[in-house]
Amino acid sequence: MNVRTLCLAILYFGDATGYEIKKMSVEGRYAHFVDASFGSIYPALAKLEADGCLTVREEPQPGKPARKIYSITEAGRQQFIEALHEPPGPDVFRSAFLMVSMCADLLPRERVAQAVDERLADLSAEIEHLKQVAETTESAGVAWSVRYGITCLTASRDYLAATREDLEAIAVDPAGEPPGDTVAAE
Amino acid sequence: MNVRTLCLAILYFGDATGYEIKKMSVEGRYAHFVDASFGSIYPALAKLEADGCLTVREEPQPGKPARKIYSITEAGRQQFIEALHEPPGPDVFRSAFLMVSMCADLLPRERVAQAVDERLADLSAEIEHLKQVAETTESAGVAWSVRYGITCLTASRDYLAATREDLEAIAVDPAGEPPGDTVAAE
DNA sequence: TAGGCCATGTAACCGGTTACATGATTAG
DNA sequence: CTAATCATGTAACCGGTTACATGGCCTA
């Protein structure tokens, strides 16, 4: 999924400015597709408008640059539906935490514990966020997706909370050998 | 996590060639960090060697280019441990399936069912793969990580299998209005 | 009064992919 | 006979990020 399609997706469900699209792609319920920056969104919107997929309406604001509110056109809707029909690539999960847990035996216990705390906090925050989305959405598809997300994230959080002791026990003893020495003895 | 660190991680646990690193980063237990291509791995290994993080040993093979087997040096180990101490970014989950499920009401039921089938197959394949890794690993950290992964993926698969009817019921009736028209009526 | 939020946009950069070049061996 | 696997490497490209430019309003 590229920024172009993301813009189409967001605008399918309502008008928005580039600034709002950025926010939604980072914090909102569109956060699991591509996290686009201004440097990619503004050019994408301009291109989309030139292609006839969007229309703009400018709303002047005293002292600020005018808000450029984009609306999707029929051509834009069609392009999005087409994109939805394309075979989706496999889901991608990239985790720096996983690298820490795989290498727990190379790290001091406190470092591993810290990584677990952070991951647990991230997980809880995301679950809370999804619960808020669940309360505000009217779309059945979004509601199903949110329940799915909450289920997966909760399973992850619960397992991590229940087994963190096992993971932390793998880490090197802070009083024992300094990190690296155990394996470095080749 | 960039390709450089990935190479260091893989070579920390044993010598390998660029070709083998590629395979591990796509299929192996390193698949959840960056999926690097040859075009990024070979230059990274050359740079790493120039930086004194790796040593190479060439193993000539009749008719094929010589295998260049890389080994990590003490400097390389230190750099990897340092990378492990850096604050890891939040975990990233990117899903085209999620876009389909969120927009289920814009798609024909068969399209949604197909996406569910594919996702279910991906999930099962990955669970099977992790079970195989579990049988072969000797590292306690890898073993913990694999159990964690199996737990999360199983929760995901089970919930999807249990609620797929709900999701498919959201899709547009194939006998009814063609996709797009329901919402397009603005 | 400092910092964050609003709001747009451009240009340089960069990390990665894709395609290319080369070629023997093995499995279907 | 074809396709995949092994095995290395380069060059063009591209989609995205980062940093920059501008500036008023609101909150701590």
Domain formed by A3-85, architecture: Orthogonal Bundle (1.10)
Nucleotides of C under 7 A from a protein CB: 6-12, 15-20, 22-25
Choose the closest CB to A122 out of B74, B91, B102: B91
Query: Span B67-82, mean pLDDT?
Result: 97
Please state whether strand C lies within 7 Å of residue B4 at its CB atom.
yes
Statement: residue A182 has pLDDT above 60? no
Test B99 with A170 for CB contact under 8 angstroms: no
Give the pLDDT of residue A158: 98
The neighbouring-strand residues paired with A61 are A64
Kindly state the tokens that stand for A127: 């679950």
DSSP structure string for A104-141: GGGSBHHHHHHHHHHHHHHHHHHHHHHHHHHHH---HH
Query: Span A9-24, mean pLDDT?
Result: 97
Spatial CA neighbour of B118 closest among A155, A9, A140, A86: A86
One-letter amino acid of B128: E
Q: What's the pLDDT band for A54 if we cut at 50, 70, 90? A: very high
What pTM was estimated for this model as a whole?
0.89
Please state whether strand C lies within 7 Å of residue A94 at its CB atom.
no
The rounded distance, in Å, linking the Cα atoms of B150 and B134 is 10
Query: Span B74-101, mean pLDDT?
Result: 94
Long-range Cβ pairs for the range B74-82 (8 Å, 24+) = B74/A184, B75/B51, B76/B8, B76/B11, B76/B12, B76/B48, B76/B52, B77/A180, B77/A183, B77/A184, B77/B12, B78/A180, B79/B8, B79/B53, B80/B5, B80/B8, B80/B9, B80/B12, B81/A106, B81/A107, B81/A179, B81/A180
Greater pLDDT, B173 or B123: B123
Query: Span A43-62, mean pLDDT?
Result: 95
Q: In the A/B pair of chains, how many CB contacts fall below 8 A? A: 193
Residue A87 with chain B: CB contacts under 8 Å: 118
Spatial CA neighbour of B114 closest among A157, A161, A84, A39: A84
Average pLDDT of chain A to the nearest whole number: 91
| D16 C1' closest Cα residue | A40
Burial class (CB in 10 A: 0-12, 13-18, 19+), A50: exposed
